[in-house]
Amino acid sequence: MDAKPSTSGLSDNAVLTTRVADRHWHALDDDLVVGRGYAEHRPDGRLFVSIDAWQDATFDQLAEAMLAELPAPLYTVVDEADVDLTARWQRVGFTIRRREWEYVVPTDPQVTGLDKVLPPPGVTIVPAGQADENLLREVDRAIRDEVESTVGWWQSMPAEVLPHPGDDTIVDPSKYAAAAAPGRYLGLIRVVTVRRPRIGLIAVRAGEQRRGIARALLAHALGKLHDSGFTTAWAEAHESNRAAVALLEDIEARQVGSNLELVR
């Protein structure tokens, strides 16, 4: 356990910054926890940090302690509407890396207009939990290679679909549904439900785009959620990914905010 004292003006006592566990810090004022800092590896291997502190001085002290011990680069995500928190991270050396729009997506096919959407001829949808892991990884790698060799925006994809250690982004195959043709997959969609359903990824091979495959995958996934009693799902789209934004807006998804990813 490491501790570092600092006077923050919270009381007559010095605030003590203490690492209480691996990648977990507390700021203590006379034994009262007045701030917490965390660091965690995302599935892609990148290290994300967060700090919960009321006072600027406490935030800065926790940041100083964490940055001294953690390897660079470090990342964090903030709600763009929280200008004070964004300013705090920028003050300790973080810069804005990318912006993602956040959407609430209706699941009712009568609302989305996906009620009559079917896969194109020769394509079937393999439900989540039934997809072949080898074919999932094959289409995942193929799509990533295509993206990087053309528009090159794979690195702006959500954190959980960036390259995992070993270059594997299929962390949990049971979360993926796939669009299948004989002997191979043409596209995939990932939906994770923790507190609420979230569409983490939808992608189609370059040579199979503009055939309605992405729309069919979305119709399938949202239909399953609707049948399970969920009225909405959440999704994010990078501000430069015009195809994803257009698809979401076309099915009556509503933009509700934006997140900033910062890096140091």
Q: Give the span between the Cα atoms of 98 and 262, in whole angstroms.
A: 7
- Give per-residue pLDDT as tens, 169-219: 677 899 999 999 999 999 999 998 888 899 988 999 999 999 999 999 999
| Structure token digits, residue 144 | 């990533």
Among residues 56, 82, 99, the one where a domain terminates is 99
CATH number reported for the structural domain that contains residue 172 in this entry: 3.40.630.30
The answer to whether 228 and 191 are in contact (CB under 8 A) is: no
pLDDT of residue 146: 84
Band of residue 167 on the pLDDT scale cut at 50, 70, 90: low
pLDDT digits (tens, 9 = 90+) for 210-249: 999 999 999 999 999 999 999 999 998 888 888 888 999 9
The closest alpha carbon to 54, from 104, 8, 109, belongs to: 8
Q: Are residues 110 and 230 in the same domain?
A: yes
Residue 156 is part of which domain span? 102-258
What local confidence, expressed as pLDDT, does residue 12 receive?
Answer: 45
Mean pLDDT of 2-6: 51
pLDDT of residue 147: 76
Q: Are residues 88 and 131 in the same domain?
A: no
The predicted model gives 161-174 an average pLDDT of: 63
Greater confidence, 72 or 152? 72
Query: Which one of 99, 134, 167 terminates a domain?
Result: 99
Q: Is residue 36 located within the same domain as residue 145?
A: no
Q: What is the pLDDT of residue 150?
A: 64
pLDDT of residue 170: 77
Average pLDDT over residues 9-18: 65
What pLDDT does residue 1 have? 46
Q: Tally the domains of the chain.
A: 2
Write the pLDDT tens digit of every residue in 116-134: 999 999 999 999 999 999 9
What global pTM score does this model have?
A: 0.74
Of residues 187, 175, 93, the one with CA closest to residue 140: 187
Is 148 a member of any domain? Answer: yes
Cα 54 to Cα 31, 63, 67, 157, 167: the distances in Å are 16, 13, 19, 31, 39
Residue 9 has pLDDT above 70, yes or no: no
263 found inside a domain: no
- Among residues 55, 72, 99, the one where a domain terminates is 99
Which of 159, 201, 158, 193 lies closest to 48, judged by CA? Answer: 159
Are 137 and 47 in the same domain? no
Residue closest to 47 by CA, chosen among 26, 28, 22: 22
pLDDT over 90, % of the chain: 66
Q: What is the pLDDT of residue 14?
A: 73
List pLDDT tens digits, range 76-96. Answer: 999 999 999 999 999 999 999
H or E element in which residue 108 lies: none
20-73 confidence digits (pLDDT tens)? 888 999 999 888 999 999 999 876 678 999 999 989 999 999 999 999 999 999
